[in-house]
Amino acid sequence: MTQQTELLAPAGDIEAGYAALYYGADAVYLGLPKFSARAEAINFTQSELDEFIAYAHSISRKVYVAMNTLVQESELPEVMNGLQICVDTGVDAVIVQDLGIARIIQKRFPTLELHASTQMAIHNLEGALALKKMGFTRVVTARELSLSEIKHIKDNCGIEVETFIHGALCYSYSGLCSFSSFQTTRSANRGKCVYSCRDTFKLDGRQGHLFSMKDLALEKEVLKLQGLSLKIEGRKKSALYVAAVTDYYRRILDTGRADISLADNIKQIFSRPWTTLHFKGKNKQVIDPNFVGHRGLPIGTVEKIFNHIITVTPIHPIAKYDGIQIDCGTQEKPFGFSAEMLSVNGKKVFEVPAKKSVQITLPDHHPFIKKGDAVYLASSTRVKGSYDYEKPKPGTFKNRAPISVCVFIEPNKIVAVYQDKIAEIDGKFTPAKNLQKMTDAIQSAFEKTGDTALTLAELTIQNKNELFVPMSILNELRRKLYSQIEIVPVRLNLPQPSQMKKENNVPKWIIKTDNVATLSEIDLNTCNEIWVVMDMDFDIATLASLPKDKVRLCLPPIIRQSNKMQKLINTLWQMGYHAYAIGNLSGLTLLPDTANIAFDSQLSCLNTQAVSQCFELGAQNVFTSMEDTLDNIQKLTSLSDKIGVILYTDVPVFLSANCVRENDCSVCNQQPWHTEVSNGKGRFELISKNCQTTVVPREALCWAGETTQINASIYRVDFCHKHYDSLTAKRIWDTVRSGKDIKGTTKFNLKKQFA
């Protein structure tokens, strides 16, 4: 399919939206007060959304609404309300993560286009093809992809492709991070991330912000991405930031050149150090271990410090009251202050040109600063005044419902009709001198819809006697008719869930492992299925020790080498292994149509609509999310005997393409490396293997004590990520099956409520 290059800008509020449109965005994405992955942004009310979309459409721009969080069962009615607002206001597409929201849109709001959020972690062609089959019209790719991977998806998937070009980055693949949720119940998958990745961590004697990412900035590289939607991150940023970044990339796309001065402007508004991430291939320079937060534009170093005054020779002009930041080794965030006093050669000045030595007076209570510390221009009065933008007068634009009106003129009365609404005025009407002028006057009168939510789509006039009606009467007739018309949107019910049944069967028990040797002491007659994790180094020979009829092979949630995985699947299929579990939608394309498929917990299901979507996609079993709460899990397990719950597992709070090993990629053996990290709030095991980093808490999740409350028909015990000796695995298996908790474990969010 042919897709036009689109510059897509963020809007956390209506001011940022207007700034984005003024500075050249082809489309804007934004959120409503609920179900937005940027819940802390101001977001849009219904009236603001209506006004903004009406204005955007008047200048031929598009607006997408992000409803890209996971939702629990009790929230589904509110989802319906939000989607109805999207329909009523004419939204161009809805961006979703939750498979339940996708199902609702397809069955109740089919006019809404579906865009797959980056929270779905779509990272290969197979995932995009699965989305196309499901009815999505666009995929937002994972940020971690290279140019060649993005192009491969674009050229072969048959739907639109959107990719990030600028803004904040997550350490983990989006949608596969539960760190914030684990530590605070504020889930990134529900728009409430507290950015635990920005914490200070200790690793092998070194301490720093080991998972704190730089900001993505592709700059001129975007010229290689023709025919895609190019997305700027920043729904929590100011209108000034949105204006500056949109302007920068609009000019690159239009001229083929990057204006350094415009890039400098962005850095003075908000910027961490910039990176192209893995766009050009594997990149180790993606983390900023020393400082967090806004840094600013580098302008020099401290050349001298004496009596609370620093001397700097800036490479960029600075002015009085500009914001200055200094990287001080004594604190994790740069020290910032307003430049209240500037001096050149002992004389106070208001402005200092570039390359001119200047003395800047520090605040009284400043930290220890030394010669050589980096100095940044963190805010600029000049830049703040450089991005004015025009916006319509409030109330000028609104989406209006089209109506068709009939006007009947008789010698003694005039009548206007819309559906069952009738307005009538008596009078004595004489022949018109000019029938065309009379017709034009009626048209003009009824086109004046004023503050109503109406627009005249069609007007039928019956004036067989060719009579004249004064304009005052026409206006009164219009007001009488329009005052009766109220456009009431149709309120729809939730789609019926798929056929679900709950029988009082004896629960099934499943073991999952990434190391078959772990199971050697367990009596495999006590389990119904054995799930074995496949990776690119999977040794098929290890399956020989397992009863073949119980084996289910698990595709990992991230499969960057899908061709290699496809060959492995083909080999196993020929050997008679036809049962699989998938942790990403790409598995639907990689596996044969006749495969027996279970959906693992990474395909998060927190509501019956999501579960129904999974069943309709062919899932034989679905597992609840490890982030979920007991009350919500109970609602799901009470409905179906095909819904499973994991009672023991090591929760991967990070799953990342970003490496923390200090060695260069060229000398790395990519073999498994296990170590421990801590952030003062908890201790975690870090596993690095094949250019992927997994971080799991020291405490495993264990819900065995709540087995009777959960009341599921399928339970699972996982031995993955960490090293488990066979005797320990047997003890855990036997203890969990007896309904007892393992000491030193955590309940995660089970007994809590999401923030």
Question: For 579-604, how does the pLDDT look when each residue is reduced to its tens digit (9 = 90+)?
Answer: 999 999 999 999 999 999 999 999 99
> What value does the mean pLDDT take over residues 266-288?
95
> What value does the mean pLDDT take over residues 2-23?
97
Task: Count Cβ atoms within 10 A of the Cβ of residue 693 and give its class: 0-12 exposed, 13-18 middle, 19 or more buried.
Answer: buried
pLDDT band at 16 (very low <50, low <70, confident <90, very high): very high
Residue 11, token pair as written in the block = 């809007």
Whole-angstrom distance, CA of residue 691 vs CA of residue 278:
12
Query: Which amino acid type is present at position 57?
Result: H
Strand 673-678 with 201-203, pairing: antiparallel
Give, for 732, the enclosing helix (H) or strand (E).
helix 726-737
Predicted confidence (pLDDT) at residue 347 exceeds the cutoff of 90: yes
Q: Are residues 254 and 269 in contact, defined by beta-carbon separation less than 8 angstroms?
A: no
Phi and psi at residue 636, to the nearest 5°: -80, -50
Map out the domains of the chain as residue ranges.
Answer: 6-169+214-275, 297-384, 401-482, 508-651+700-737
The percent of residues above 90 in pLDDT, for the chain, comes to 89
Predicted confidence (pLDDT) at residue 19 exceeds the cutoff of 90: yes
Whole-angstrom distance, CA of residue 675 vs CA of residue 683:
11
Query: Which amino acid type is present at position 395?
Result: G
- Those residues with Cβ within 8 angstroms of residue 281's Cβ, 6 or more apart along the chain or in another chain: 146
Q: Of 161, 113, 111, nearest to 134 (Cα)?
A: 113
Q: Provide the 3-class DSSP secondary structure of residue 149.
A: helix
Q: Provide the 3-class DSSP secondary structure of residue 579.
A: strand
Residue 657, token pair as written in the block = 């393409």
pLDDT band at 469 (very low <50, low <70, confident <90, very high): very high
Across the chain, what does the average pLDDT equal? 95
Q: Of 356, 374, 372, nearest to 317 (Cα)?
A: 356
Q: Are residues 535 and 515 in contact, defined by beta-carbon separation less than 8 angstroms?
A: no
Q: Of 633, 569, 577, 573, nearest to 601 (Cα)?
A: 633
Whole-angstrom distance, CA of residue 438 vs CA of residue 440:
5
Q: For residue range 644-677, what is the model confidence (pLDDT) as tens digits?
A: 999 999 999 999 999 988 888 878 887 889 999 9
Query: What is the DSSP-derived secondary structure letter of residue 746?
Result: B
Whole-angstrom distance, CA of residue 409 vs CA of residue 310:
85
Q: For residue range 350-400, what is the model confidence (pLDDT) as tens digits?
A: 999 999 999 999 999 899 999 999 999 999 999 999 999 999 998 889 888
Whole-angstrom distance, CA of residue 655 vs CA of residue 608:
27
Q: Of 356, 389, 100, nearest to 242 (Cα)?
A: 389
pLDDT in the model for residue 39 = 82
Whole-angstrom distance, CA of residue 545 vs CA of residue 517:
9
Predicted confidence (pLDDT) at residue 158 exceeds the cutoff of 80: yes
pTM of the model: 0.92
> What value does the mean pLDDT take over residues 700-712?
97
Q: Are residues 485 and 418 in contact, defined by beta-carbon separation less than 8 angstroms?
A: yes
Give, for 179, the enclosing helix (H) or strand (E).
helix 179-184
CA terminus-to-terminus distance, the chain: 42
pLDDT in the model for residue 1 = 67
Q: Are residues 86 and 492 in contact, defined by beta-carbon separation less than 8 angstroms?
A: no
DSSP 432-484: PS-HHHHHHHHHHHHH--TTSSEEEEEEEEE-TT-B---HHHHHHHHHHHHTT
For 6-169+214-275, the fitting CATH number among 3.40.50.720, 3.20.20.140, 3.20.20.70, 3.20.170.30 is 3.20.20.70
pLDDT band at 499 (very low <50, low <70, confident <90, very high): confident
User: Which letter, b or e, does each residue of 126-155 get, where b requires 16 or more Cβ atoms within 10 Å of its Cβ?
Assistant: bbbbbbbebebebbbbbbbbbbebbbbbbe
Residues in a beta bridge with 366: none
Whole-angstrom distance, CA of residue 432 vs CA of residue 34:
57
Q: Of 708, 709, 728, nearest to 717 (Cα)?
A: 728
Tell me, yes or no, if the two domains 6-169+214-275 and 508-651+700-737 fold the same way: yes
Length of the chain, please?
A: 755
Predicted confidence (pLDDT) at residue 534 exceeds the cutoff of 90: yes
Predicted confidence (pLDDT) at residue 755 exceeds the cutoff of 80: no
- Those residues with Cβ within 8 angstroms of residue 505's Cβ, 6 or more apart along the chain or in another chain: 641, 713
Q: Where are the beta strands (DSSP E) in 583-651?
A: 596-599, 619-623, 643-649
Q: For residue range 594-644, what is the model confidence (pLDDT) as tens digits?
A: 999 999 999 999 999 999 999 999 999 999 999 999 999 999 999 999 999
Q: For residue range 22-69, what is the model confidence (pLDDT) as tens digits?
A: 999 999 999 999 999 888 888 999 999 999 999 999 999 999 999 999
Whole-angstrom distance, CA of residue 532 vs CA of residue 530:
6
Predicted confidence (pLDDT) at residue 504 exceeds the cutoff of 80: no
Whole-angstrom distance, CA of residue 615 vs CA of residue 622:
8
Whole-angstrom distance, CA of residue 267 vs CA of residue 273:
9
Residue 37, token pair as written in the block = 């992955």
How many other CB atoms are there within 10 angstroms of residue 500's CB atom? 16
Whole-angstrom distance, CA of residue 176 vs CA of residue 122:
11
- Angle CA 233–281–566, to nearest 5: 100
Fold of 297-384: Elongation Factor Tu (Ef-tu); domain 3 (2.40.30)
Q: Are residues 590 and 558 in contact, defined by beta-carbon separation less than 8 angstroms?
A: no
Whole-angstrom distance, CA of residue 110 vs CA of residue 124:
26
For 508-651+700-737, the fitting CATH number among 1.10.260.40, 3.20.20.70, 1.20.120.1200, 2.40.10.10 is 3.20.20.70
Q: For residue range 91-129, what is the model confidence (pLDDT) as tens digits?
A: 999 999 999 999 999 999 999 999 999 999 999 999 999
Query: What's CA 342's distance to the chain center, in Å?
Result: 43
Residue 718, token pair as written in the block = 């996982």
Q: Of 140, 80, 89, nearest to 114 (Cα)?
A: 140
